[in-house]
Structure 1
Amino acid sequence: MKFLITGANGQLAREFLMTLNTHDVIALSKEHLDISNPNAVSNAISQHKPDVVLNCAAYNSVDRAEDDFDSAFRTNAIGVRNLATACKMHNTLIVHYSTDYVFDGEKNDFYTEEDKPNPINKYGESKLLGEKYLTEETDNFLLFRVSWVFGKGKQNFLYKLSEWAKKNNVLTIVCDQISVPTYTVDIVKFTLLSIKEGLRGTYHLTNSGCASRYEVARYYLEKIGLTNLILPVNSEDFHEKANRPHFSVMSNVKLSKALKLSIPSWKEGIEKFIKRGMK
């Protein structure tokens, strides 16, 4: 099976590359494939003829998207449409990743794939449009909504937390944003299993359980042996430009049942991440 990976410099793409090292893989960074360019996308699919496109390209700057929606829209929506159109022409499976931020956080229960999205920030809007364009262009897709992704690299909360802890004995972490930290290793594992099993459609791919940012910070720092004082604060204290949903926890039951497998908890994910990083 031949894979084409977009957004090759991102943490999820790098995880796929480490896992698929014995497979036929083409990984293209934005410099080599700007997915917002339809001609470039069409040429790349025609040239490489992959069986599967793993779309790891994304505009993930949640606050910046409030003032720069055009950039978010080009990558998260138009780029997805371009890929889906080209994949349909070549009967190629496209795997795309969306976000818990397509939900408004008002449900106060686990979101399922049947719940209606209602994003409360521009980033979430751009990702929801990407979902819409994907499903309009092709039926041969896997759409995975993920949340609070962490893995090797500097683009995640745990890395930032480690850096803050080096410079500050006292940390203030929001306690009113609750979701599911999700490990890139598990995202890759369950994506590849889904492809192998021939799944199609929309699934929530998260680790199991849920936690606030504050709970995650306490758990992670304790596990790596740091004793920083962590104070819980409300989101309003940070004056962030973009609104965040307070409870965007997604249920992974549909995917778990489809694969007949249990998905590890976010705590297990963090523990695996720490062990791997310390080797």
Structure 2
Amino acid sequence: MKFLITGARGQLAREFISYFQEKGYGFAAFPKDELDVSDFEKVYQTIKEIKPDIIINCSAYNQVDLAEKEKHLAYKVNTIGVYNLAISAREIKAKLVHYSTDYVFDGTKTGFYTEEDQPNPLNEYGKSKLFGEFFIQEVLENYLIFRVSWVYGKGTQNFLYKLEEWAKKQEVLKIAVDEFSVPTSTRTIVEVTLKALDEGLTGLSHLTNSGYASRYEWAKEYFKLKGINKLIYPALQADFNLPAKRPKWSVMSNEKISKALGITIRDWREELKSLIR
């Protein structure tokens, strides 16, 4: 099997690349400056030339607040770019793996969100990701869409990295106590994705670690495990007055993918502890 990875400098792509190198998999990985997914001609030509069996799309515009005023950039990558990949994948009969977000939901549900729940994104980022899902489902039959949440790994575009940066400058950190989702590691995403590919699964699934947490709980747990002694103050989401509206509750169930693969996905606390150790 030959893989093509987009967005090669992002934290999720880096996890795939590390795994593939360790296992000796055949792959090609392209950062944005070498393969901009919004450039149809470049995408089409590259995929036709390499002829991968699997395309793993790790490209994403994920600046949630900036997307409110730069919506054209969010849609360019998260919607049009995904459409370009889907068209190109169909041309060579490759399977497309794509990652969406818990921000397709509005947070009004009581209980875990499942794949059957109706999306209703509150911000432009969530809308752009949802339209990307729609394009894949319209163009392809052989695809995997995974909705993920609060992703963290090796990189700077995640909450844990920002926490440590804030801790270097502030004695008291204000973290939202009324915003809930599932912290999910890039390691978990890679492991489950590859198992789903091995089993020949297709369609849309939620892919998260198990359990759920508020941002406040997540930050407290991380600082405890890291031995960082800073005061974390429980604030409200509304206190930050951010440009993009976020769902207060976007906790997704991983039951569908767990049952399909016959696995139990680690609780977010166990995963965090394991990775830090």
Q: TM-score, normalised by structure 1?
A: 0.98
Deviation per CA, 1:215-265, whole angstroms, max 9, x where unpaired?
Answer: 000000011112211110111111100000000000000000000000001
Paired-residue identity, %: 54
TM-aligned CA deviation for residue 269 of structure 1: 1.8
Cα separation, 1, equivalents of 2:271 and 2:156 = 17
Unaligned runs of 5+ in 1: none
2:204 aligns with one of 192, 202, 205 = 202
Aligned residue for 2:7?
7
TM-aligned CA deviation for residue 32 of structure 1: 0.7
Amino acid across the alignment from 1:86: S
Aligned residue for 1:262?
264
Cα separation, 1, equivalents of 2:274 and 2:202 = 28
Q: Is the 8 A contact 1:151 1:273 kept in 2?
A: no
Deviation per CA, 1:193-219, whole angstroms, max 9, x where unpaired?
Answer: 000000000000000000000000000
Aligned residue for 2:80?
78
Cα separation, 2, equivalents of 1:272 and 1:45 = 37
TM-aligned CA deviation for residue 179 of structure 1: 0.1
Q: State whether structure 2 residue 136 is matched by structure 1 residue 139.
A: no
Deviation per CA, 1:86-133, whole angstroms, max 9, x where unpaired?
Answer: 101111000000000000000021000000100000000000000001
Q: CA RMSD in A?
A: 0.6
Cα separation, 1, equivalents of 2:230 and 2:177 = 16
After superposition, residues 159-238 of structure 1 pair within 5 angstroms as: 159-238=161-240
Aligned residue for 2:16?
16
Q: State whether structure 2 residue 28 is matched by structure 1 residue 30.
A: no
Cα separation, 1, equivalents of 2:186 and 2:198 = 18
Amino acid across the alignment from 2:76: R
Query: Which 4+ residue blocks in structure 1 deviate beyond 2 angstroms?
Result: none
Amino acid across the alignment from 2:215: R
After superposition, residues 41-56 of structure 1 pair within 5 angstroms as: 41-56=43-58
Amino acid across the alignment from 1:106: T
Unaligned runs of 5+ in 2: none
Q: State whether structure 2 residue 256 is matched by structure 1 residue 250.
A: no
Q: Is the 8 A contact 1:12 1:56 kept in 2?
A: yes
Deviation per CA, 1:40-81, whole angstroms, max 9, x where unpaired?
Answer: 111011110100000000000000000011000010000001
Cα separation, 2, equivalents of 1:122 and 1:255 = 27
Cα separation, 1, equivalents of 2:145 and 2:272 = 24
Aligned residue for 1:39?
41
Q: State whether structure 2 residue 126 is matched by structure 1 residue 124.
A: yes
SS at match of 1:20: helix
Q: Is the 8 A contact 1:112 1:204 kept in 2?
A: yes
SS at match of 2:29: strand
Aligned residue for 1:58?
60
